[in-house]
Amino acid sequence: MKFVTANGATIPALGFGTFRMPGKEVLEVVPEAIRLGFRHIDTAQIYGNEAEVGQAIQTSGVARGDVFLTTKVWVDKFRHADFVKSVDVSLSKLRTDHVDLLLLHWPNDAVPLAEQIGALNEVHKAGKVRHIGVSNYNTALMAEAVELSAAPIVTNQVEYHPYLDQAKVLETARRLGMSVTAYYAMADGKVLSDPVLKDIGARHGKSAAQVVLRWLVQQDGVVALSKTSTLKRLPENLAIFDFELSDDEMAAIHARAASGGRIVNPAGLAPVWDKAA
């Protein structure tokens, strides 16, 4: 497993995401993912599966201290008192006294960012979270969060796949010492039938999905979240560290980006995104 270091955090470069995974599925798939070698599990309050994620880690046979666990506070809990209470609830559900990384899930300008960051810092200082970060932030919000925070901001978790140019976010993250955590890497399944990705995969004896995950983790400071509900796919998603993409192959994948490539853009949550570089 490769690791990404960012502002004092050491994060497994390949994580397993649980978005849209019902509890029963989590209990079936996540323990097997951990047994196979995944050491980074990502969940969120809004996913409604923190309890099952906690149970899955506990029953995996791998010590809690060997699993990097991320969760996210939902936007309706950003007021200070609500925030702190919600973290305690999450810890109880996750069967742990701390998470390794806690994120603000989306921007919410109804609550001052200083209050949000202050609450993040409070639970960090209390030892309830080892590291803090943000999610779905544009570059201006990233810089503001860093300026407001006493504790280091270690990542911005954003949509990132071959069809979405995130060069500006990546550049800002590197300047601030942060990592970028990529979700929706498969672009809602679009990458699986992409002829360019399939052709690159054929050269390495890999699938298009493996090519995309490799493309992500081969970039400086990028963490990739993978996801599958199929047990037989778990070993495939993990097998991305035994090959390397050439500079030309990396460039060819970057060249797939186009205007309109963004998939996740919920009204009322999404900020004003940075224009593509």
∠ Cα 84 88 92 (to 5°): 165
254 known member of a binding site: no
CB within 8 A of 88, min separation 6: which ones?
128
3-state secondary structure of 188: helix
Burial of 270 (0-12, 13-18, 19+ CB in 10 A): middle
Residue carrying structure tokens 């046979």: 61
**Side chain identity at 236, as an amino acid letter?**
E
Name the DSSP class of 71: E
Catalytic-residue membership of 47? yes
Which residue of the set 47, 137, 160, 163 is catalytic? 47
Binding-site residue numbers are 105
* Active-site amino acid positions: 47
Binding-site residue numbers for substrate are 105
